[in-house]
Chain A
Amino acid sequence: MKLTRDRVTAILMLLPSVVLLAVFVYGFIGRTFYVSLTDWGQDPTQALALDPQLHFVGLKNYSDLFTNFIETRFRQDLVNTFFFTVLFLVGCLGLGLGLAVLLDRGVKGEGLFRTIFLFPFALAFIVTGTIWRWMFQPEGGINVLPTLIGLPKLDFGWLTSRVQILRFDWNGLPFVLGLLLAAVLALLAWRAFRRGQGLRGTVSAVLASLVALWALAVLRHASPLPYPERHGFNLAFIGIIIAAVWQMSGYTMALYLAGLRGIPEELREAARVDGASEWQLYRYVILPLLGPISLSAMIILGHISLKIFDLVFAMAGPDHAATDVPALLMYLRSFRANQFAQGAAIAVVLLVMVAAVIIPYLVSSLRGEVRR
């Protein structure tokens, strides 16, 4: 009897948190989605009303984002986020792994180096942004650094550059994404066949060819926009990526270092006894063991980079189109221009991107826990 009463107490004590999160996370996400289906903001008299009159417009805000010529800035923002994420991940994983391997070699002063590599993680993105904005002043900072050792000064507009490389036409995107999906499915099929899972392989192979056919027959001629619209990687992002790597690579270093410390010394000894060189030891023994850590790091950092907001705000300013990202555009649309419905639609797109990364991660990591 007592046990049951305690159990009821437990549930009652958990309830406030559950209710708060249910409302603030799921209720508000639902409301944001609803807002994204309305015209809130089109009528200026309703924009800031406490209880605004909203009219349902269906998916118009979304189709505008992807296919209306007015929203070209949003599409460039998506492209920006893509390049930012890729380069940020490469930088953080590469530098973090490199530093961890160096520190794992039993160097003197390891604690000091570790502290130095990780301290930026304790700073606010706003502080980092302020600092690096000063570092990247066109006529100072990084650009005059080479003159200290007698080299000519650099002449790169770190945050102001307007140069765009790797340009492509937005209209080609559906076709490329279709081919990419087909390629992934084909890869899955190939792996399944190699492992002798015939049924799974056959299903994947059939799906792959169907998607490839669909891409070739339909998507090749699909053009979301009536005219070519070119997007690419804005070089003004390089500076922001460097600052982001400066701040976050210590985190990957800490993850990798914890992983390296978890590898038993006997395993290394065994490989050395077998005649493996240091390089072979890392390539064939240690790196494969760090795979799961790389994956977690990619997911955690990847979702941070999809959401990146404060760093760009502080480094390049919120109104600098060349370095815009969706998280920033959502803020500007909603809280500067009072276009709440458009802002909500951008927020939902952002949420879908983050959820696509996070949900599989949560599921697999908690399922593993239950099994344990």
Chain B
Amino acid sequence: MSAAPLSTGGAARPRGRRVQWLTYLLLIVAAAFFLLPIYLVVVTSLKLPADINLATTWELPRHWNWHSYAVAWQAFAPKLRNSLVLAVVATAASAVMGSMNGYILSKWRFPGANLLFPLMLFGMFIPYQSVLIPLFQFLRNIGLYGSLWGLILTHVVYGLPITTLIFRNFYAEIPDEMVEAARIDGAGFFGIYSRIIFPLSISGFVVVIIWQFTQIWNEFLFAVTLTRQSTQPITVALAQLAGGEAVNWNLPMAGAVLAALPTLIIYVVLGRYFIRGLLAGSVKG
């Protein structure tokens, strides 16, 4: 708005300012819509259970009660640990495999690749309900049902389409001439990857790792069907705690904060890469 419209005369200026005010007003109302739930969560989590009263929901706590976090931490620490192991291992494995796949699909084009790639991609859109029963049976048969490793395997496999997609689009930007030059210098399949492709992949890896970590940390359907009490990730534990009847709401709220913090921190610190992953999710990248 700094450059005023050319065709409007001086009379339009106050109107322009009014539009400006209206813009900010609307933005602030929208921001309130997005932030109010967070305010309520934090305030509730800091109240004493006895002070949580529906009528005074929006008021600040009379006694600041940090104890809820200690209790929630005690209850959730093992689940957070499960989520962390799950997300780190599955993210690392699917990122490494996705990088290799992306390298092959973008630099070693072979007949049938144009059919193979969409077939691989389809796997990231399916409702996972449509594979859940055989997956459950399969994991039971190989003895991984209920273990964290079964869930890790699941997330690695169903993470492959998106990691392959992001790396393939990322490597498409690396000129084929560079690959060709390395090949003339005598570099083979792995030589080209380790000397040309991988060193240029750092920001690709950041995008993929952020995306996968967030997705796996937040996932629920596989987690609730394929784990037992001791291997539950945080999302399942939170759903159980919050879903119970007659709960003290300070606990689920503190739990929600604990469950949300890792991905929120990633988002705030590395938001730029986060948005790139998000845009890549709509296929064209």
Contact = CB atoms under 8 A, between A and B. Distances in A.
B60 interface: no
Interface in B120-167: 120-123, 125-136, 138, 140-141, 154, 157-158, 160-161, 164
B97 A17 contact: yes
A230 interface: no
B54 interface: yes
B282 interface: yes
A24 B57 contact: no
Contact of A21 (B7, B27, B120, B217): B120
Among B129, B183, B189, B221: residue with most chain A CB under 10 A: B129
Given A119-B264, A331-B225, A9 B131 contact: no
B188 A2 contact: yes
Interface residues of B, number: 100
A337 to B, nearest CB: 13
Given A21-B120, A24-B157, A130-B238, A122 B214 contact: yes
Interface stretch (A158-166, A172-180, A299-307): A299-307
Contact of B130 (A29, A275, A363): A29
Contacts, number: 287
Interface in B1-54: 1-2, 5-7, 19, 23-24, 26-27, 30-31, 33-38, 40-41, 44, 54
Nearest to B57: A140
A27 B134 contact: yes
B44 to A, nearest CB: 7
A358 to B, nearest CB: 4
Q: Is the interface of A mostly helix, strand, loop or mixed?
A: helix
Contact of B27 (A107, A125, A258, A355): A107
Interface stretch (A70-78, A109-117, A193-201, A211-219): A109-117
Given A99-B30, A334-B132, A366-B117, A139 B161 contact: no
Interface string A233-271: 000000000000010001100110010000000000100
A99 B165 CA distance: 29
Contacts of A254: 275, 278-279
15 contacts: A2-B188, A10-B189, A17-B164, A21-B123, A25-B123, A117-B34, A121-B267, A123-B263, A124-B235, A130-B256, A135-B37, A255-B282, A272-B6, A310-B220, A313-B220
Interface of A: 2-3, 5-7, 9-11, 13-14, 16-18, 20-21, 24-29, 31-32, 35, 50, 95, 98-99, 102-103, 105-107, 113, 115-127, 129-135, 137, 139-141, 144-145, 148, 246, 250-251, 254-255, 258, 269, 272-273, 275, 278, 296-297, 300, 303, 306-307, 309-310, 313-314, 317-318, 327, 330-331, 334-335, 340, 343-344, 346-348, 350-351, 354-355, 358-359, 361-363, 365-366, 368-370
